[in-house]
Chain A
Amino acid sequence: MTSAIKDRTTAPTALGRRPSWQLRARAFGAMFRRDFTVTGKELPFVLAQVLLQPIFFMFIFGRLLTSIGFTAGTYASLLFPGLLALTVVVTAIQGTAFPLVVEFGYTREIDDRLLAPSPVWALAVEKILFAAARGLLAGLALFPVGIWVLGSIPYQASGLVLLVTMLLLACLVGATFGLVLGTFITPDQINIFFSLLFTPLAFLGSVQYPWPQLAQLRWFQILTAFNPITYASEGMRAALIPGVPHMPALVCVSVLLAGIVLFGILGLVGFRRRAAD
């Protein structure tokens, strides 16, 4: 009897074969389309939401305070690269963290995709890329908005390659960090977590001040060095207003890359943990 179990062989059917890379790519594309369909309708609202804060920041600090003489006129061009970094990173964090907390926690809507014939990590990578694309979109939208509010924004043709690099790295570091949050936080923790996390992220990220000039406030400089947004802000400054003191671009790129790898690994571990019991 037992030998029959062991020896039985069956003709392989088409479905019994391992999914081809072509099929996996199609599944990946479908998952990306799904995210686009589900969140596409809310995209204008998401953009309005993430752009509202930088608009007010630019108006109050870059325009109002400079026009009544409390801040120097050049402050606006210092502020813009920082706000760009903040907007991109935070939008990307939200792009992975919020949907995953809901899908893993309340609705289990993700289950149908976890049953697709593609690897579990592919879905996590799709989530990262989709959130990164949202972050990038928000960043690109900030340019016309900045011109509208500030009148002009700093720009250097020679910094274009670095700008694009920094935008991509900022998107990815936010999306991978969001993946970590989205897989480790439960739905009832998300609101408190985000309100506690957002303010330090926004104000300890060298968004409103150049990092090298914090030297006389050493403890604060060290504290801000733990925030990935610091490296995104400084990198953006290196690309847009190289005249202002900034961290070396190579340091920014290296730290952000390291962050992407670290958060990416942690996020994938968390994703796998949540995907299967």
Chain B
Amino acid sequence: MVSGSRQQVAETVTCDALAVERGGAAGVRVRGLVKRYPKASVNAVDNVSFDVEAGTILGLLGPNGAGKSTTIGVLTTRVRPDGGQVSIADIDVIREPETVRRVLGVVPQRDNLELALSVRQNLLFHAAYHGIGRKARERRTDELLEQFELGNRAKDKPGRLSGGQFRRVMIARALMHDPAVLFLDEPSTGLDPAARQFVWQKVREMRARGVTILLTTHDMEEAAALSDRVGVMDHGRLLVLDRPEELVRTLTDGSTLEVSAEIAEERVPPLVRRLGELDGVERCERTGGSPPAPTIRLQLSGAAARLVAPVALAVEEFGGRLTGVDIGGATLEDVFIHLTGRRLR
């Protein structure tokens, strides 16, 4: 077991060997984690190893079904793993689930507030389950209600809240017992932009206060905006793990060209093939737009400006007209495409 896990560490965390050594009191450590659900033919989580340093944010990025939520499930004592070692703040999660629940807070993907209790009671009871005395839990509830701008909804039942308010209550509840490590499963899925910004701001504030955070998302923008380090997951495996800008720098060659054109629909596929063959184009694919105005994205190995003229010529060659060109840097989306050959969504 020991030699196995050592090898695992060497294999998958090479890009981050230093972080493993630094570690921290309230860090998270996962080694060779395997989970297969009954009747499933493949592992939901397949030999995953990583660390979250104390006081940092790790974002697990991947499509639905990549194994992100299962990984969080194991870390939060809700899913029994089939193999591997998992610890939080040096407490063995599998052997000491009760102890570890004292240091972790969970905001699950699924809305699960108590619908028969008021917002305030939801927070108060959570604290009581964690053994916090009456005075302390009332004070903490008032603080968090104010922090999350929920003071005027304290007496309402959760069923009357908007989606953004509901999620805010879920986060506030998870913070009632002042956890050292917080797990956020898809924290802003389904929220409008303003609510999303609010959640992001709160996540950053928690990090500033030293809370270790592990979040999952299928939104590359969220992963890039919040995470100190990003792990890309697909089919139960952790493909890479590094700082987002490092991932973008090392796994893509920097720039992209987003092209809009007016062109007959049936000519789009041959055009995409033709563009993909141009010198300096790593990858080319249609990203959207509706006929007869598709948008095509080119991932480049060299400078983007040099390719504008050849692209315009190619479009004309297929009887179309170039209507827009957008030069941009590569993103985590390109990293994901590079690693899996697929788009994230």
Contacts and interface: CB of A to CB of B under 8 A. Distances in A.
A277 B79 contact: yes
Interface in B10-25: 10, 17, 20-21, 23-25
Given A16-B90, A38-B117, A27 B130 contact: yes
A11 B90 CA distance: 10
A31 interface: yes
B15 to A, nearest CB: 13
Contacts of A119: 98
Nearest to A275: B78
Contacts of B249: none
B331 to A, nearest CB: 31
Contact of A116 (B21, B101, B114): B101
A11 B20 contact: no
Interface residues of B, number: 48
Interface string A90-119: 000000000000000001110111111111
Given A5-B9, A16-B91, A34 B131 contact: no
B77 interface: yes
Interface-centre pick from B10, B102, B122 (highest chain A CB count, 10 A) = B102
A19 B79 contact: no
Interface string A205-227: 00000000000000000000000
B131 A27 contact: yes
Interface stretch (B104-112, B195-203, B334-342): B104-112
A18 B99 contact: yes
Given A1-B21, A11-B25, A117 B78 contact: no
A19 B125 CA distance: 18
Interface of B: 2, 6, 9-10, 17, 20-21, 23-25, 29, 37, 70, 73, 76-80, 89-91, 96, 98-99, 101-104, 106, 108, 110, 112-117, 121-122, 125-126, 128-131, 173, 180
Given A4-B21, A30-B128, 6 more contacts: A8-B90, A9-B90, A10-B89, A10-B90, A38-B114, A109-B115
